[in-house]
Amino acid sequence: MAAAGAAATDLEVARGRRAALFFAAVAIVLGLPLWWKTTETYRASLPYSQISGLNALQLRLMVPVTVVFTRESVPLDDQEKLPFTVVHEREIPLKYKMKIKCRFQKAYRRALDHEEEALSSGSVQEAEAMLDEPQEQAEGSLTVYVISEHSSLLPQDMMSYIGPKRTAVVRGIMHREAFNIIGRRIVQVAQAMSLTEDVLAAALADHLPEDKWSAEKRRPLKSSLGYEITFSLLNPDPKSHDVHWDIEGAVRRYVQPFLNALSAAGNFSVDSQILYYAMLGVNPRFDSASSSYYLDMHSLPHVINPVESRLGSSAASLYPVLNFLLYVPELAHSPLYIQDKDGAPVATNAFHSPRWGGIMVYNVDSKTYNASVLPVRVEVDMVRVMEVFLAQLRLLFGIAQPQVPPKCLLSGPKSEGLMTWELDRLLWARSVENLATATTTLTSLAQLLGKISNIVIKDDVASEVYKAVAAVQKSAEELASGHLASAFVASQEAVTSSELAFFDPSLLHLLYFPDDQKFAIYIPLFLPMAVPILLSLVKIFLETRKSWRKPEKTD
């Protein structure tokens, strides 16, 4: 009976041991991995290796130049060698992690008949008009015509000429080393019309470590998909001045053509407003010598802020806003001039602030006060005003004067106020800037997601990142093959996608739990379950060890 009972308990003990072992097995083999997997944060995969590869991207900016030689420009035996292609490549020395190489691909060829005819006309303007017939050149490309050394197309002392569209004229030379010498001149001219070091430095100004401030480099607007331009008329004294301005006509005639010329660089929208009783916030001083009022340079920075709150620029749009203000000073403070640092009145009577806009002071002609009763009707001369505003707009966009090579004649600007190759320069600068920004954003995002391991990465964030990386690579390829327009579009896509990915609202869900909260959550769940299992495992292990040792002892 006792033996049967002992056998029965042995069986029970064995069964109990097996049950405990199975429990432990299920808990450890099934439960632990399941718990780990289900409490993981969802992180979609990102192309980290490609993103780090972007930092080492080598940008090759290619400018395709077509060089056309007329009959008398180079010696005959050199003319026999045409047509052929010469490549001039140069690395831009900037302290930036991306290497940038500038490549001028010059395709030399002989002039066609109509081109010869055009280039033998009396003045450069006529020649250009005749050469204008063929189709518009692609963005970024240039054509350089080489005329003979003694041609009268250019004034005698001028060696080269840069035209308003993407053409230039260079004097040839009858020399053994003709091609080399002319090649150098052509590169100089081409650089002035497309890419120089300062253009790229200005584009990358935000990404380069700066040792000192440079006004030129810090002025331009950041590259953006669109811009909002607001023209405001400030009339602080409506009792004395009844100001009328034909802003719609002026925008249609002067501003819209300029913006149409710039349309490749972004979407522009223009609006205008009139503000009454808007003061400048700075009291002008009276200058008895000229019996006028003046604002000196040191008080100008304080002018903008009090006025800005009334401009309503925050309601306009999410694009960067450029404000152009026309201020008609009140009767008590007329005429009002702006003085520069030497105390002389500024010719334009205007000043601008980088990334914000410009202000011009419009003085009412004193003759209008003579006979009439207040308020006098003031018709604003929009031409004078728009000349200043468009010049400020150019400066704010970073369209600066180019580095013209010596003895070079620069043509006057077109009627729109923008030369075509200036637009090209802007597009080059913007493409490089966009690529730099997109690369920085993607790298920062990758670093951030790597550093803070708790962030949830959703699928649409991952897809935007992939799109951005692909767009950066495409843009770099297009730049290397000289297609500026498509490169710029791809670079804009890259910036948009990378910004969308970085600023996605879902990336905020940092699942951060302090350590004591983690303990508080897991101990009540796991401790009651784990303690019996572990204890029984320990007991089983000790008993098995005892049973191994017993046979040894008896032996």
Partner 1 sequence: MAVTDSLSRAATVLAAVLLLSFGSVAASHIEDQAEQFFRSGHTNNWAVLSLVLSPRLECSGAISTPCNLHLPGLSDSHASASQVAGTTGARHHTWVCTSRFWFNYRHVANTLSVYRSVKRLGIPDSHIVLMLADDMACNPRNPKPATVFSHKNMELNVYGDDVEVDYRSYEVTVENFLRVLTGRIPPSTPRSKRLLSDDRSNILIYMTGHGGNGFLKFQDSEEITNIELADAFEQMWQKRRYNELLFIIDTCQGASMYERFYSPNIMALASSQVGEDSLSHQPDPAIGVHLMDRYTFYVLEFLEEINPASQTNMNDLFQVCPKSLCVSTPGHRTDLFQRDPKNVLITDFFGSVRKVEITTETIKLQQDSEIMESSYKEDQMDEKLMEPLKYAEQLPVAQIIHQKPKLKDWHPPGGFILGLWALIIMVFFKTYGIKHMKFIF
344 touches partner 1 (CB under 8 A): no
Question: Which of 145, 227, 245, 254 is in the footprint of partner 1 by CB under 8 A?
Answer: 254
Task: Give the residue with the Cβ less far from partner 1, 179 or 254.
Answer: 254
Phi, psi of 115 (to 5 degrees): -70, -40
Question: Which of 21, 27, 297, 456 is in the footprint of partner 1 by CB under 8 A?
Answer: 297
Phi, psi of 405 (to 5 degrees): -65, 160
Binding mask 502-521 for partner 1 (x = CB under 8 A): xxxxxxx-x-x-xx--xx--
Q: Select the span of 20-28, 95-103, 271-279, 523-531 touching partner 1 (CB under 8 A).
A: 523-531
Q: Are 270 and 255 in contact (CB under 8 A)?
A: yes
Q: Select the span of 117-125, 182-190, 224-232, 387-395 touching partner 1 (CB under 8 A).
A: 387-395
Q: Which of residues 423-442 bind partner 1 (CB under 8 A)?
A: 440-441
Q: Select the span of 84-92, 117-125, 310-318, 402-410 touching partner 1 (CB under 8 A).
A: 310-318
Task: Give the residue with the Cβ less far from partner 1, 87 or 521.
Answer: 521
Q: How many CA atoms lie within 13 A of 168 on its CB side?
A: 33
Question: Which of 391, 456, 462, 470 is in the footprint of partner 1 by CB under 8 A?
Answer: 391
Amino acid at the residue 203: A
Which of 354, 100, 102, 101 shows the shortest CA–CA distance to 204? 100
Q: Are 465 and 258 in contact (CB under 8 A)?
A: no
Amino acid at the residue 392: Q
496 touches partner 1 (CB under 8 A): no
18 touches partner 1 (CB under 8 A): no
Question: Which of 15, 218, 285, 549 is in the footprint of partner 1 by CB under 8 A?
Answer: 218
CB of 248 to partner 1, least distance (A): 8
Q: Are 385 and 136 in contact (CB under 8 A)?
A: no
Question: Which of 116, 198, 271, 308 is in the footprint of partner 1 by CB under 8 A?
Answer: 308
Q: Select the span of 114-122, 211-219, 267-275, 465-473 touching partner 1 (CB under 8 A).
A: 211-219
Q: Which of residues 152-171 bind partner 1 (CB under 8 A)?
A: none
Amino acid at the residue 231: F
* Alpha carbons 534 and 20: distance in angstroms, whole number: 9
> Strand, helix or coil at 140?
coil
Task: Give the residue with the Cβ less far from partner 1, 182 or 234.
Answer: 234
* Chain CA centroid to CA 76, Å: 48
121 touches partner 1 (CB under 8 A): no
CA angle 30, 31, 35 (to 5 degrees): 125
Q: Select the span of 7-15, 168-176, 337-345, 462-470 touching partner 1 (CB under 8 A).
A: 337-345
Instruction: Name the residue with tokens 């903008």.
Output: 304
CB of 217 to partner 1, least distance (A): 11
209 touches partner 1 (CB under 8 A): yes
Q: Select the span of 136-144, 159-167, 293-301, 485-493 touching partner 1 (CB under 8 A).
A: 293-301
Q: Could you tell me the two tokens for 335?
A: 């005429």
Phi, psi of 452 (to 5 degrees): -100, 95
Task: Give the residue with the Cβ less far from partner 1, 353 or 463.
Answer: 353
Amino acid at the residue 8: A
* Alpha carbons 388 and 390: distance in angstroms, whole number: 6
* Alpha carbons 108 and 172: distance in angstroms, whole number: 13
Task: Give the residue with the Cβ less far from partner 1, 122 or 505.
Answer: 505
Task: Give the residue with the Cβ less far from partner 1, 287 or 381.
Answer: 381
End-to-end CA distance of the chain: 30
CB of 530 to partner 1, least distance (A): 6
Q: Which of residues 441-480 bind partner 1 (CB under 8 A)?
A: 441, 444-445, 447-448, 451-453
> How are beta strands 99-110 and 84-91 bridged, if at all?
antiparallel
- DSSP classification of residue 277: S
> Strand, helix or coil at 102?
strand
> Strand, helix or coil at 379?
strand
The size of the chain, in residues, is 555
Q: Select the span of 11-19, 96-104, 132-140, 413-421 touching partner 1 (CB under 8 A).
A: 413-421
- DSSP classification of residue 43: B
CB of 118 to partner 1, least distance (A): 26
CB of 523 to partner 1, least distance (A): 7
246 touches partner 1 (CB under 8 A): yes
Task: Give the residue with the Cβ less far from partner 1, 58 or 454.
Answer: 454
Helices and strands (H and E) in the chain: how many:
17, 17
Q: Select the span of 135-143, 335-343, 421-429, 466-474 touching partner 1 (CB under 8 A).
A: 335-343
Q: Could you tell me the two tokens for 511?
A: 């699942």
> Strand, helix or coil at 226?
strand
* Chain CA centroid to CA 191, Å: 21
234 touches partner 1 (CB under 8 A): no
* Chain CA centroid to CA 320, Å: 12
- DSSP classification of residue 324: E
245 touches partner 1 (CB under 8 A): no
Amino acid at the residue 492: Q
Question: Which of 68, 243, 336, 390 is in the footprint of partner 1 by CB under 8 A?
Answer: 390
Task: Give the residue with the Cβ less far from partner 1, 68 or 442.
Answer: 442
Cross-strand partners of 270: 229
3-state secondary structure 526-547: HHHHHHHHHHHHHHHHHHHHHH
CB of 457 to partner 1, least distance (A): 13
CB of 430 to partner 1, least distance (A): 16
273 touches partner 1 (CB under 8 A): no
Task: Give the residue with the Cβ less far from partner 1, 14 or 542.
Answer: 542
Which of 155, 214, 146, 156 shows the shortest CA–CA distance to 181? 146
412 touches partner 1 (CB under 8 A): yes
358 touches partner 1 (CB under 8 A): yes
Cross-strand partners of 62: 103
CB of 388 to partner 1, least distance (A): 5
549 touches partner 1 (CB under 8 A): no
